[in-house]
Amino acid sequence: MSPVNSATAQKLARMVPKCPSCHSRLAGHQFVEVATAICGEEYLAELTIFFECARNRQWARLRGFRNFKGDRDAVVANGVACSEGGALIVLRSVAELYAADEVLLLEPITRDDIGVLKTLIAADEWQAISD
């Protein structure tokens, strides 16, 4: 696991104590970054569509959001897989070094949703969440 993914796995496990599908800790689950979008008033229309796609499980369309700037806050959609299905976790990733990220959306997703995500996103992009 790369250091960035390891940090992301640790962040997800810390911010989301239990999977909304299986009600277990996230350790032992897999995750993948599905989409990113830049925050800001000038991106409001894009963010609205981003959240519509996330809430409506429009995975292929959501996957098209790949915008990120290191000096700007962003929303990051992560898919988490487990034996029961998994979770959609959308975080606000804050550019300010000492500010905390926050969970904006946490919803259970089905095994079918995970199946779709696994067809859209290469197997080597999925990472394990460990203790």
Domain ranges within the chain, ordered by starting residue:
32-125
3-class secondary structure, 111: helix
Phi/psi at 63 (5° precision): -60, -25
Residue type, 113: D
Percentage of the residues of the chain whose pLDDT score is greater than 70:
96
**Radius of gyration (Cα) for the chain, nearest Å?**
14
Between CA 64 and CA 96 the distance in angstroms is: 26
**47 near 37, Cβ under 8 Å?**
yes
At 3, the pLDDT band (50, 70, 90 cuts) reads very low
Q: Report the alpha-carbon distance of residue 130 to residue 112 in Å, rounded.
A: 24
Please give the mean pLDDT across all residues of the chain. 94
Where residue 72 falls among pLDDT bands split at 50, 70, 90?
very high
Q: pLDDT tens across 75-109, in order? A: 999 999 999 999 999 999 999 988 999 999 999 99
* pLDDT for residue 97: 85
